[in-house]
Amino acid sequence: MESLRVQRLQPGVGGTLRSLRPGVTTGALPSAASAPPLPPPPPPLGLTLTLGPPPAPPPLPPSLLPGVTAGATAAASPPGAAGGPPAVLREAVEAVVRSFAKHTQGYGRVNVVEALQEFWQMKQSRGADLKNGALVVYEMVPSNSPPYICYVTLPGGSCFGSFQFCPTKAEARRSAAKIALMNSVFNEHPSRRITDDFIEKSVTEALASFNGNREEADNPSTGIGAFRFMLESNKGKSMLEFQELMTVFQLLHWNGSLKAMRERQCSRQEVLAHYSHRALDDDIRNQMATDWVNREQNIPGALSRELASTERELDEARLAGKELRFHKEKKDILMLAAGQLGNLHSSNC
């Protein structure tokens, strides 16, 4: 019985999937430039941050909420993503980096690449649960001329990218490190933790937004009840940690896998309980790529259009300083799908 339940929860089991276009964004942080200031965070960081109060956490994908159309539950934007000019974002990031420098190395310049690595090593030494270690990973986009682009993936999985025009690869690396350091530091503030009060406020706002009643919030089979279940299962975690988990569900929704699970009579609670403990790995990526090929292979030009759209979304999010994991994972899955399509066409020749 258990093996049958797990099989129903696997992407790609039970036929091909129809296309869904959720339009769900992935940022989880508020605007850094225009919001009123917060009090300084507590030790050990002791940084003076002029950042705004936290929004509600990212909502569940639309397919897990009742009566919500695609793209209607976009998460709050990260620093600089609220439509402000790029200069505002640069100033906000530089202010945090300068503050970090003052509290760690005096008033001189700070090596942001080293500072970001040391920050996560400090978190690991103080007991942070980093399953894959404290290594910060950088990835340069292949290019023979500027502007150069770099992505940085934090130990928990969150991804950020260079948000400035970078004439050198070294500058692109520093730009990515700056925005990642800013988000890492801000994420330590107590207001970024999921608490009982935070859950109650978020659920109340969700009920008001979707005209729900209190009974729905206590019933895990409803969309709002599943939302509450998700928050309570992640009590004590930070917004970045919660966003990393949400990326899995956003990808399952984009790929059509959540719809297929509903058609196999999987309950929302089953899906949440199963995938809350699944990390994004090569097996999941390859299966999602296979699902996409099965769904779209007979539509002329579908892959090229989807890739172009995804790359455009990724660039826009990167330049706005947003968290990029969803967009980047989607692009990687589509590249895997391109390889599978190529192999499929070769075998048919």
Q: pLDDT (tens digit, 9 = 90+) per residue, 81-126?
A: 333 456 766 776 777 777 666 655 544 567 889 889 988 998 888 8
Mean pLDDT, residues 28-44 taken together: 32
pLDDT at 8: 62
What's the topology of domain 88-188?
Answer: Double Stranded RNA Binding Domain (3.30.160)
Mean pLDDT, residues 309-321 taken together: 95
pLDDT at 188: 84
Of the listed ranges 39-43, 86-90, 143-147, 189-193, the least confidently predicted one is 39-43
Asked if 97 and 182 count as a contact pair (C-beta separation under 8 A), the reply is yes
Q: pLDDT (tens digit, 9 = 90+) per residue, 219-243?
A: 877 778 878 888 888 899 888 888 8
Cis? peptide before 147, omega within 30° of 0: yes
pLDDT at 99: 66
What is the largest distance, in Å, between two alpha-carbon atoms of the chain?
A: 66
**Where residue 194 falls among pLDDT bands split at 50, 70, 90?**
very high
What is the C-alpha to C-alpha distance for residues 320 and 31, in angstroms, rounded to an integer? Answer: 10
Angle between the N-to-C axes of helices 112-125 and 169-186, in degrees from 0 to 180, rounded to the nearest 10 = 40
pLDDT at 219: 80
Mean pLDDT, residues 201-210 taken together: 86
**Where residue 28 falls among pLDDT bands split at 50, 70, 90?**
very low
Domain ranges of the chain: 88-188
Of the listed ranges 141-155, 219-233, 303-317, the least confidently predicted one is 219-233
Angle between the N-to-C axes of helices 302-319 and 282-296, in degrees from 0 to 180, rounded to the nearest 10 = 130
Q: If you ran DSSP here, which 8-state letter would residue 137 be given?
A: E
What is the three-class DSSP state of 98? helix
DSSP-assigned letters across all residues of 23-87: ------S--SSSSPPPPPPPTTT------PPP-PPPPPPGGGSTT--TTTTPPPP-TT-SS--HH
Q: pLDDT (tens digit, 9 = 90+) per residue, 238-249?
A: 888 888 888 988
pLDDT at position 142 over 50? yes
pLDDT at 6: 57
**Where residue 191 falls among pLDDT bands split at 50, 70, 90?**
confident
**Where residue 281 falls among pLDDT bands split at 50, 70, 90?**
confident
Of the listed ranges 174-178, 266-270, 288-292, the least confidently predicted one is 266-270
In the numeric block, the tokens 């998460």 are attached to 75
pLDDT at 221: 72
Mean pLDDT of the chain: 74
- Residue 147 vs residue 219, higher pLDDT: 147
Residue 254, both tokens: 């984009």
pLDDT at 207: 87
